[in-house]
A and B are shown apart, each in its own frame.
Chain A
Amino acid sequence: MFLEHKYNIPELVRRCKAGERKAQELLYKQFASKMLGVCCRYAKDKMEAEDMVQNGFIKVFQKINDFRGEGSFEGWIRRIMVHASIEYYRKHNRMMQLADLEEADSEASGNPLAIAKLEANDLLVLIQQLSPGYRIVFNLYAIDGYSHKEIAAIVGITEGASKSQLSRARSILREQVTKMERKIYGYAG
């Protein structure tokens, strides 16, 4: 991508804290692709993900003075992106649209070996097809490693709701994986 060489992150952070625009741009270029990768999982398509990244980076530069250098900067900026993605849905009032979802086929097994053959892009498409509520909970728990307690706090739902949404999300994904495998590899079942 943009980068010809790596920048010294602590130095960039220091300059960003001083409000230096050039440093902000360099920091953005350093992390933009990774963070768009994060937001893509939370969004329904790339355009929405770019909006989330945009909001997230504005937050990053506004709050950069809060970063004390404890823990990795990438972890910090990643958390801000996750929050920005959830905030995006909260703002657009699409947080918990669960009803309009196609019923999951509970019989779908989702053969792990078969899933393993799917490419990252295929899996991403499956996640993006989930409704926002399921997508957010699945991402937070399965990929970003948040606990149900943390999810409940971040999303503003109960732990029970988080658990049930996760299991619903999984069963939908299993079904979709099976469908996709059939389509791609011509499996009989």
Chain B
Amino acid sequence: MDMQDKEFDEVFRSKLEDFESEPAGHVWPAIEQGLNSSNKRKTLLPWLSAAASVVIMATAAGVLVFTRHGAVAHIPVKPVMSQTPGSTNTGLVAANPVHSQGSGTRPDASRRQDRSGYQTIPGRIIAKNAPANNIDTMPARSGVYKQGDAGLTGNIAHQQITTSKAVVPDKDVQLTASSVTDLALKATPDHIASPVTAMIKTDTAKVKQRHKIHSFGDLVNLVVDKVDKSKDKLIVFSKDDEDDAHITNVNLGAVKTKKGE
């Protein structure tokens, strides 16, 4: 049977192996056209990818600008800041319970307002910001006690920081903090709030680092950071400049990997 199969195959092979048939005239022009279009695709590809990256960058920039813009617009701090130290007891006070306790210059009424202000804040935010508040207010108090009168300008600066942290929804906390921080740093004499400024400085550094985009990985980090607020991000690329796209952290629910920092 095997032999028969081989014979059978052999008949087909011997007769068809060198079978030839002349193609119709339209085949070569079609091949030429195919080659031309594939060449075009090859030359277009770098331009397309360049255009795509421009679009991505523009979108990312847009997201940054708008979120930053929106965050500032929603903070009650802004009008207060334009009011200068002389007239601090309006607007801002309502949002800053901790500081009013620390300085002791605020009327009781404002404290009541503070409480209501706190109640409107979702519990998650309070919990999240609690350590930050503690850190900010503790030195603020000591600053006030030690420095007396000179504390006023510093207090205002701190007020702005704590205010923004307490009121702004968690999404915008960091950005707002950074924008307010610059002002705070200018307004605060170094000797008053050195612990605070130290905190602020590190905070600012972190924020600035986030905004440096050197590589594709940085871009992805930035976008993921915007979208995914959890501690274990969906995907994190290494922050090493030498390393172009090195994934250090992946969180796909079921699949989780994390490399040491």
Contacts and interface: CB of A to CB of B under 8 A. Distances in A.
Real binding pair: yes
Interface of A: 1, 21, 24-25, 28-29, 32-34, 36-38, 40-41, 46, 49-50, 53-55, 57-58, 61-62, 110, 112, 115-116, 118-120, 123-124, 127, 138, 141-143, 145, 167, 170, 173-174
A127 B27 contact: no
Contact of B12 (A24, A28, A123): A123
Contacts of A115: 8, 11
A20 to B, nearest CB: 12
Contact of A37 (B5, B18, B30): B18
Contacts of B70: none
Interface stretch (B32-40, B126-134, B137-145): B32-40
Contacts of B11: 112, 115-116, 123
B80 to A, nearest CB: 67
Contacts, number: 93
A50 B19 contact: no
A145 B6 CA distance: 12
A174 B35 contact: no
Contact of A21 (B8, B12, B23, B32): B32
Contact of B35 (A40, A61, A145, A167): A61
Contacts of A46: 21
B21 to A, nearest CB: 5
Contacts of A32: 22-23, 27-28
Given A54-B30, A110-B8, A33 B23 contact: yes
Q: Looking at chain A's contact residues, is the secondary structure mostly helix, strand, loop, or mixed? A: helix
Interface in B10-32: 11-13, 15-24, 27-28, 30-32
Given A123-B12, A142-B9, A41 B19 contact: yes
Interface residues of B, number: 26
B7 interface: yes
B4 interface: yes
B13 A142 contact: yes
Looking at chain B's contact residues, the main secondary structure is helix
Contacts of A142: 8-9, 12-13
Contact of B5 (A36, A120, A170): A170
Contacts of B21: 33, 36-37, 40, 46, 49
6 contacts: A36-B23, A50-B24, A53-B23, A61-B35, A112-B4, A123-B11
A123 B16 contact: yes
B67 to A, nearest CB: 45
Contacts of B15: 118-120, 123
B9 A141 contact: yes
B22 A1 contact: yes
A31 B27 CA distance: 13
A119 B24 CA distance: 23
A33 B13 contact: no
A58 B34 contact: yes
B7, B16, B32 interface centre (most CB from chain A within 10 Å): B16
A124 B21 CA distance: 12
A142 B15 CA distance: 12
A138 B32 CA distance: 32
A159 B18 CA distance: 27
Nearest to A115: B11
A170 B19 CA distance: 20
